[in-house]
Chains A and B, each alone.
Chain A
Amino acid sequence: MKVNKTETNVTEKMCKKCGKVLASTTKYRYCDNCRRGRAKTRREALATAGALGIAILSVVPVVKHLVNKK
């Protein structure tokens, strides 16, 4: 975790991505804004993967059927 030493020599937690100073009680290494951004990316990736999965699952039986027919 990045730390920043201020003039009063108190170590501050900082966001690993954007370098924003975090609250001392925070449990995370990233700020809420960065974490929210990351969650959005994950959500989009999940949706894409889901759509792809559904597309594949719906195509496979058709392909199997065609192969068996031959």
Chain B
Amino acid sequence: MSLILCPECGTKISNKATLCPHCGYMGENPSLPISIQDKYEVIPTFEYDIEEWNPTREQYNLMAVEDNRTLVQFFGKWQNVQLRLPAIAKVIESMAKKENILVAKMDSYVKSLIEKGIYRFTIDKQGEILPTIRDAEGIVKQVRLKEMTLTPELANSLSNLQTHAVMAQILDEIEYVGDAIRGIHIELQNDRIALAESTKDKLLLTSRIQDTRLREIALLNVVNSATEAKRVLMRNFSENLNFIVENSQKNDVQLLFEGKKGKDIPQKVSDAFQALISITNSVQIECEGYALLGEYEASKQSLMQFRAFIVDNKLDNRDTLLRLNENTSLKKLQVVDEFMTISNRIIKFDTNRQLSCHNFMMISEEKHNESK
């Protein structure tokens, strides 16, 4: 038995079938197989021309190091570790308990900074203490280390150098964790963008499926992926936009004492622009997918959701996007103008008009022409 394509719907059916199980098509003589009596043509391969809006994307910037510094300063204070992480504090103390200990002579100011976690001793690769004290920037002081035999009084003392040395090692690990957290932030943003970009690839691959039934199932999956990507990015975009709007247009005095919020803004602007581009592309793919399934009402609904997103975030107002653009060192005026064209078209879209596949595709072509 070989498979043929149904002349009506293009589904793969047996060459002995007298009736298509998918669309119910029968030949002129119902008792004879369809393959004998009908001359059929292989359904044409769909050629979709999904234009991706892809303005120049800039390199990702690393987040501010302030979060990391705060973390190090908090856990660098021995009292905080004892209070918040008692189990870890016990482990550190037990690690530091040795018969022979090292002591260093230092003034009370340096000692207080060590207790706060701002200064710490340098440790070599073997875990031995070096006679240098450093902060986040580098070495700040040289001290003389002296070996002493442990007495019960010294053992209980928190100024035990060994304890601080172990603390210093842990602080190094915390700094590494801080870097890893920044890496995770970038990866999360990449994941969100990749989710949106994958929908385009899925749609192009789906267009190569010849079996109508399988193609419809695949198209539904593509549309679902596009909706998911769109929603995730919309939420992320709205949060970033609110943060940027809240922290922009401050006066000079406020800017002078702004703190770490100001350092986060360029990263958030970059994320917001990337999200905006991917949201637009996801909406386009969602609409294309529904249109190809012949579900024009769902396409309209998708456009309506996009319109609600534009209105809620005041993206139909050029000033909102210009405000975003103002907060980055990169000039993204091209993205602003292109998005304004798209948002104007979406806002003016008449929901009552009959949406056919043809005029729907024309929207994409217009988008394409204007983006050029």
Contacts and interface: CB of A to CB of B under 8 A. Distances in A.
Contacts of B320: 23
A33 B329 contact: yes
Given A21-B325, A21-B333, A22-B326, A36 B319 contact: no
A46 B322 CA distance: 31
A43 B249 contact: no
Contact of B249 (A21, A27, A33, A38): A27
B258 A32 contact: no
A36 B257 CA distance: 11
A37 B255 CA distance: 9
Contacts of A39: 252, 255-256, 258, 262
A35 interface: yes
A24 interface: yes
B140 to A, nearest CB: 16
A15 B328 CA distance: 13
A36 B322 CA distance: 16
A25 B328 CA distance: 18
A18 B95 CA distance: 56
A23 B255 contact: no
Interface string B284-328: 000000000000000000000000000000000011101101111
Given A32-B326, A36-B258, A36-B262, A25 B331 contact: no
A49 B249 CA distance: 27
A2 interface: no
Contact of A35 (B252, B322, B325): B252
Given A21-B322, A24-B319, A26-B249, A36 B255 contact: yes
Given A20-B331, A24-B319, A36-B262, A31 B326 contact: yes
Contacts of B252: 35, 39
B248 interface: yes
Contacts of B336: 21
Given A22-B326, A26-B249, A42 B256 contact: yes
Contacts of A20: 325-326, 331, 333
A23 B328 contact: no
A15 B342 CA distance: 26
A70 to B, nearest CB: 30
B248 A32 contact: yes
Given A21-B333, A35-B252, A26 B258 contact: no
Contact of A23 (B256, B258, B326, B333): B326
Interface string A19-62: 01111111110011101101100110010000000000000000
B326 A43 contact: no
Contacts of B331: 18, 20
A38 B255 CA distance: 9
Contacts of B329: 18, 33
B327 A33 contact: yes
Closest 7 CB pairs of A and B: A39-B255, A23-B319, A31-B326, A23-B322, A32-B326, A32-B327, A23-B323
Given A21-B325, A39-B258, 4 more contacts: A23-B319, A23-B323, A32-B327, A39-B252
